Amino acid sequence: MSDEKVLIGIIGGSGLYALDHLTVLSTVNPSTPWGHPSAPITIAALPSGTRIAFLARHGQGHTIPPSAVPSRANIAALKSLGVAAIIAFSAVGSLREEISPGSFALPSQIIDRTKGVRASSFFEDTSVVAHAMFGDPFSGKLAGWLAPRIQGALDEEGKGKKLFTDKTIVCMEGPAFSTRAESVMYRQWGGDLINMSVLPEAKLAREAELSYVMIAMATDYDSWRVDSSAVTAHDVFQTLHDNSATAKLVLSKILDELQGELSGGKHGEALLQEKGGMKFSIMPRSVKQKPEDREKLAFILPEYFAGEEGKDVASA
C-alpha cells in the first residue's frame, strides 16, 4: 500500500487514458486481495496542489475488454490510496434522439444486462454475506453538486454541449454491440444510455463505501434508429477524441472546489454520504466466518473487519 493519500479518484474509460494537463507526481500499482488494477495508478496534481488518482479502466493502450476489467482490484486499489469519491468517465451510446453524440450525462439509474460472468461483489467466495443498498446506484449528492459545475464548464467551452441528468443507463456485456431489436427494447424499458462498464464498478464502489458518479459521454446512437447504420467502434472513436478534451476541461474546472469540499468543506459530509452505508448490510459476525475472509475484507472495510477484540460473536 502506498502512503500517498488522495481523496479524489478518476477512472478514465475509452479514449481517456491519461490526464495530460496535470503534473504527474508518482505512479503506483497497489497489490490488493483481488489482484492488481487495470493499470498502474497515476497520482497527479493541479497547479493548486490538489492531488487526484487516475486509473485507465481498460489499461494503458486499451488492452482489457469490458468483461475482463478487474473492477474489484480497481476499486480496492483506489480505496487503499485514500480515495473517498470516484468520478468515472464512460463512452456511451445514446438511446434518445435529444442526447446527441457529444452530449454529457449523469445517469441516476442502471439496468443490468451483464451476463453474470463478472465478479460483482467483494464478498463473493467468502464466508461473509452482505447485501449492499443499491436502489440509488450513484451518489445523488455528488451528482447534484457536479451537475451545475459540469454544465458551466460545457458552456464555457462554447461548443453547445449539453449535460443531461437523471438518466437511466443500460449496462450490457459486450463485446459485440447490441442488435437493433435489443436497442429498441432498451428504449421501451426506459433506458436512455448504454455502455459496457458501469457494472460492477458502481456496485463495488458502493460496497467499499465510496461516493461514485459516472460522467457519461455520448458517442453514438447505438442501433435503434431505423434509417441510420448500426453503431461501430469506429463511430465511437470518432467522437471520443473531442469528448476526452472536454472531459479534461471539465475536470480542470471542478477538481479544486471538490477537493475543498471533501477536505472539510461545508458540503463534504453530504458528498461522502456513502460512508457508513455498509453498517447494516453485513450479516452479523459468526464463528462460521473465516478469519482469512475477514482479513481480506478488512482491506476495503477496515471499520468492520480489522481488529478482532471486543466484538460479539454469534455462536451459530
Ligand X SMILES: Nc1ncnc2[nH]cnc12
Q: Which residues sit at the interface with ligand X, rule CB under 6 A?
A: 91-93, 172, 177, 194-196, 219-220, 222, 231, 236
Cis peptide before 200 (omega within 30 of 0): yes
Would you state the cell numbers that stand for residue 130, as one nine-digit string? 452482505
Host H or E run for residue 56:
strand 51-56
Query: Which among 73, 81, 91 is positioned nearest to 8, based on CA atoms?
Result: 81
Among 7, 22, 87, 91, binds ligand LNRAV4D5 (CB under 6 A): 91
Stretch that binds ligand LNRAV4D5, among 108-116, 152-160, 193-201, 244-252 (CB under 6 A): 193-201
- The reply, when asked if residue 197 is annotated as ligand binding, is yes
Contact 88, 200 (CB under 8 A): no
Q: Does 13 bind ligand LNRAV4D5 (CB under 6 A)?
A: yes
Site string for ligand LNRAV4D5, 29-68 (x = CB under 6 A): ----------------------------xx-------x--
Q: Does 204 bind ligand LNRAV4D5 (CB under 6 A)?
A: no
Q: Which residues lie closer than 8 Å to 292 by C-beta, 6 or more apart? A: none
Would you state the cell numbers that stand for residue 165, as one nine-digit string? 441528468
Active site residues: 220, 222
Among 195, 223, 244, 259, binds ligand LNRAV4D5 (CB under 6 A): 195
- At 66 the three-state DSSP class reads helix
Site string for ligand LNRAV4D5, 173-192 (x = CB under 6 A): -x------------------
- At 214 the three-state DSSP class reads strand
Secondary structure of 249-288 in HEC code, one letter for each residue: HHHHHHHHHHHHHHCCCCCHHHHCCCCCCCCCCECCCECC
Query: Which among 2, 5, 7, 1 is positioned nearest to 265, based on CA atoms?
Result: 7
Closer residue to ligand X, CB minimum distance, 132 or 236: 236
Q: Does 14 bind ligand LNRAV4D5 (CB under 6 A)?
A: yes
Beta-carbon count within 10 A of 63 CB: 11
What phi and psi values does residue 28 have, to the nearest 5 degrees? Answer: -130, 150
- Residue 233 CB, nearest approach to ligand LNRAV4D5 (Å): 5
- Residue 39 CB, nearest approach to ligand LNRAV4D5 (Å): 12
Annotated binding site: 14, 57-58, 90-91, 196-197, 220-222
- Interface contacts to ligand LNRAV4D5, rule CB under 6 A: 13-14, 57-58, 66, 90-91, 174, 195-197, 233, 236
Annotated binding site for phosphate: 14, 57-58, 90-91, 197
